[in-house]
Amino acid sequence: MPATKQLTKGNEALAMGAVAGGCDCFFGYPITPQNEVPEVLSYEMPKRGRVFVQAESEVASINMVYGAAAAGKRAMTSSSSPGISLMMEGVSYIACAELPCLIVNVMRGGPGLGSITPSQGDYFQACKGGGHGDYHCIVLAPWNVQEMYEFPALGFELADRYRCPAMILADGVLGAMMEPATIRDDDAPPDVPEKPWATSGRNGRNHKNIVNSLVIEPYGLRDHNLKLQAKYAKMQCETRWDTRHTDDAEILLVAYGIAARLALSACKLARKQGVNAGLLRPITLYPFPSDAIVECAAGKKRVLVVELSSGQMVEDVRLAINGKVPVDFYGEMGGVIPSPADICRKIMEAVQ
Amino acid sequence: MLEQTVLAGFGGQGVLMMGKLLASAAMDEGLYASWLPSYGPEMRGGTANCIVVVSDEEIGSPVSDACDAIVVMNQPSLEKFESKVRPDGTLIINKSIVPVETTRKDVNAHYLEADDIAEKNCDANRSANVVMLGALQSVRQILKSDSVRRAIACSFKSKGQQVIDANLAAFAAGTNALRTEPIGPTR
């Protein structure tokens, strides 16, 4: 496919990635630090005859996504932490109604209105529900601008495959930073699977398609939940992860997104000081690459989880490793970015 | 190779642009590059800055508190960032509007009157940022001057040949400024 390497801002790459990923409709409400996403889509979508709506609120945005997804369209929204909180009811409805869509969270410091600086405090919200009820989103964590460009298409693809909302969990640094990224020049639409369940008109069928998230009868809702759980079990084969310098490592760092970038630099610093450190980076946060982490951590002295939070993903790492290797944690909150030197100090403390 | 550079000044002095020129030139040479602006709450007239990382291998952290070089366009930036340069690193300071010198004794500080040079060479102090970029290039030489010139030509393309030429002249003037005025680490 024809493509050019361009110095691109993360948020802009994400917007162009959504266009390339066949997004039909975008609904959103402004919030820092993701505003370049709707900005770019506000002119790129109408140019192609696609839908861009700046909604009156986040609640409206997610419900517009619900409607467009029910009609079989590739629909998305983008926001940042407080805005995503407002959307949670809608996400739960979409998950229950088994609709595919894409939700982007460019995380900022919380809780509350918090700050506009980068954070990873929304891991629990993204991976453990967030809204009510027993549901999951597929959660993808990019770590560079190239992945900001590629993950919208991947998110749509996985969402369609499992009829489940997909979420891209980025942060303020990834949104604001520029890096060379390979961006497609053409506008060829991706392959989108048939959606025979869509409420897009009867089209000669002998039955009505109904999209609904109300299952009032308890056994009926139990059965629906069992179906959802079976789907989440099937989804476990979609785990993705990436490693750097793990083969000879005595300590394994586990981090995602921007924290993984900081951790990679810390590994290099540690190696200069004679400690072989390696990195495993979960790319899918749900489903979580537990098996890969167990396998990679086997034989290592220690595991160090690094997050821009008080320690959220570390719980899943500890569950996976189940006490076989000691797991340490280092995190910063509120939009503070630890330096690689800070992380390197924690590596040194851990191996001593 | 790993080169971490902070570019800092008032909003409007073109420090983000300066960083983009560096990152574009690095990309042009097939190197890895990252550019990260400060986007936190800033008051009007406060400082704007960005950090550019250039490397021949995959870049981990896009931030650093031990930079190789810092380009200082105004006095608040000197106060804010002089502690962020590593020992033996480089400080390039715009003497036109920074009336003080660095308090660091363990770095290589270079001073030039970027606003005045820009005005003299290109009839406008707007290109002081590119003068500073030229000075940085003459001291650090991480990238090829040709790639930086290509980045300048490419970035100002939409503004016409006159603007491109003015900026190329500013770049050349900045490159020569430290050569003709050897006031380096001893100052």
Tell me the nearest-neighbour CA distance from B139 into chain A, angstroms. Answer: 24
* A117 touches B: beta carbon within 8 Å: yes
Beta carbons of B61 and A5 less than 8 Å apart: no
Tell me the nearest-neighbour CA distance from A349 into chain B, angstroms. Answer: 20
The reply to whether A122 and A261 lie within a common domain is no
Q: What is the mean pLDDT of residues A291-317?
A: 98
Q: Which tokens in the block code for residue A37? A: 């996403």
The per-residue pLDDT for range B49-71, each reduced to its tens digit, is 999 999 999 999 999 989 999 99
Q: Is B6 within the bounds of a domain?
A: yes
Residue A259 belongs to domain spanning? 240-351
The reply to whether A166 and A247 lie within a common domain is no
Per-residue pLDDT, B184: 45
Beta carbons of B65 and A341 less than 8 Å apart: yes
**In this structure, are residues A271 and A245 in contact, taking their beta carbons and an 8 Å threshold?**
yes
Instruction: Specify the CATH number for the domain of residue A340.
Output: 3.40.50.920
Beta carbons of B36 and A177 less than 8 Å apart: yes
The per-residue pLDDT for range A247-302, each reduced to its tens digit, is 999 999 999 999 999 999 999 999 999 999 999 999 999 999 999 999 999 999 99
Tell me the nearest-neighbour CA distance from B115 into chain A, angstroms. Answer: 28
- Residues 286-305, chain A, touching B (beta carbon < 8 A): none
Residue A147 has pLDDT above 90, yes or no: yes
Per-residue pLDDT, B187: 37
Beta carbons of B61 and A265 less than 8 Å apart: yes
The reply to whether A155 and A291 lie within a common domain is no
Strand stretches in A108-238, DSSP E? 138-140, 165-171, 178-184
Per-residue pLDDT, A287: 98
The reply to whether A208 and A333 lie within a common domain is no
Per-residue pLDDT, B124: 66
Q: Is B185 within the bounds of a domain?
A: no
Per-residue pLDDT, B180: 52
Per-residue pLDDT, B183: 46
* A261 touches B: beta carbon within 8 Å: yes
The per-residue pLDDT for range A323-335, each reduced to its tens digit, is 999 999 999 999 8
* A176 touches B: beta carbon within 8 Å: yes
Is the Cα torsion angle A176, A182, A183, A188 positive or negative in sign?
negative
Residue A52 φ/ψ, nearest 5 degrees: -125, 125
Domain count, chain A: 2
In the predicted model, what is the mean pLDDT of chain B? 91
The reply to whether A27 and A66 lie within a common domain is yes
Order of strands across the sheet with A251-254? A241-244, A277-282, A251-254, A302-307, A327-331
Instruction: Specify the CATH number for the domain of residue B13.
Output: 3.40.920.10
The reply to whether A218 and A268 lie within a common domain is no
Per-residue pLDDT, B186: 42
Q: Is B187 within the bounds of a domain?
A: no
Substitution target in A8, A178, A243, A256 with the highest count of B β-carbons within 10 Å is A178
Residue B86 belongs to domain spanning? 2-180
CB contacts of B58 in chain A (<8 Å) are: 264
Q: What is the mean pLDDT of residues B12-26?
A: 95
- Residues 76-105, chain A, touching B (beta carbon < 8 A): none
Residue A218 has pLDDT above 80, yes or no: yes
Q: How far apart are CA B86 and CA B69, in angstroms?
A: 8
Q: Is B138 within the bounds of a domain?
A: yes
Q: Around Cβ A216, how many Cβ atoms within 10 Å?
A: 6
Coarse DSSP helix, strand, coil percentages of chain B, rounded to the nearest 5 percent: 45, 25, 30
Instruction: Specify the CATH number for the domain of residue A211.
Output: 3.40.50.970
Residue B123 has pLDDT above 80, yes or no: no
The reply to whether A188 and A133 lie within a common domain is yes
Which of B24, B39, B60 faces A262 most closely, judged by CB atoms? B60
Last residue of a domain, one of A179, A212, A237: A237
Residue B185 has pLDDT above 50, yes or no: no
Q: What is the mean pLDDT of residues B102-109?
A: 96
Q: Comparing A113 with B181, which gets the higher pLDDT?
A: A113
For A32, nearest residue in chain B (alpha carbons): B39
The reply to whether A75 and A180 lie within a common domain is yes
The reply to whether A263 and A211 lie within a common domain is no
Residue B46 has pLDDT above 90, yes or no: no
Tell me the nearest-neighbour CA distance from B157 into chain A, angstroms. Answer: 16
CB contacts of A173 in chain B (<8 Å) are: 36, 62-63
Beta carbons of A339 and B65 less than 8 Å apart: yes
Which of A176, A262, A265 faces B37 most closely, judged by CB atoms? A176
Beta carbons of A268 and B36 less than 8 Å apart: no
* Beta-bridge partners for A169: A105
* A242 touches B: beta carbon within 8 Å: no
Query: What percentage of chain B exceeds 70 in pLDDT?
Result: 90
Q: Is B76 within the bounds of a domain?
A: yes
The per-residue pLDDT for range B139-167, each reduced to its tens digit, is 999 999 999 999 999 999 999 999 999 99
For A146, nearest residue in chain B (alpha carbons): B34
In the predicted model, what is the mean pLDDT of chain A? 96
Beta carbons of B65 and A268 less than 8 Å apart: no
Beta carbons of A265 and B60 less than 8 Å apart: yes
Torsion of CA A71, A72, A77, A82, to 10 degrees: 70
**In this structure, are residues A177 and A124 in contact, taking their beta carbons and an 8 Å threshold?**
no
- Weakest mean pLDDT among A152-166, A269-283, A296-310, B110-124: B110-124
Query: ipTM of this predicted complex?
Result: 0.94
Beta carbons of B36 and A263 less than 8 Å apart: no
For A115, nearest residue in chain B (alpha carbons): B40
Q: Decide the pairing of beta strands A178-184 and A25-28.
A: unpaired
Q: Is B186 within the bounds of a domain?
A: no
Last residue of a domain, one of A211, A237, A263: A237
Q: Is B57 within the bounds of a domain?
A: yes
Per-residue pLDDT, B120: 87
* A264 touches B: beta carbon within 8 Å: yes
Q: How far apart are CA B153 and CA B132, in angstroms?
A: 17
Beta carbons of B61 and A340 less than 8 Å apart: yes
The reply to whether A143 and A205 lie within a common domain is yes
Domain count, chain B: 1
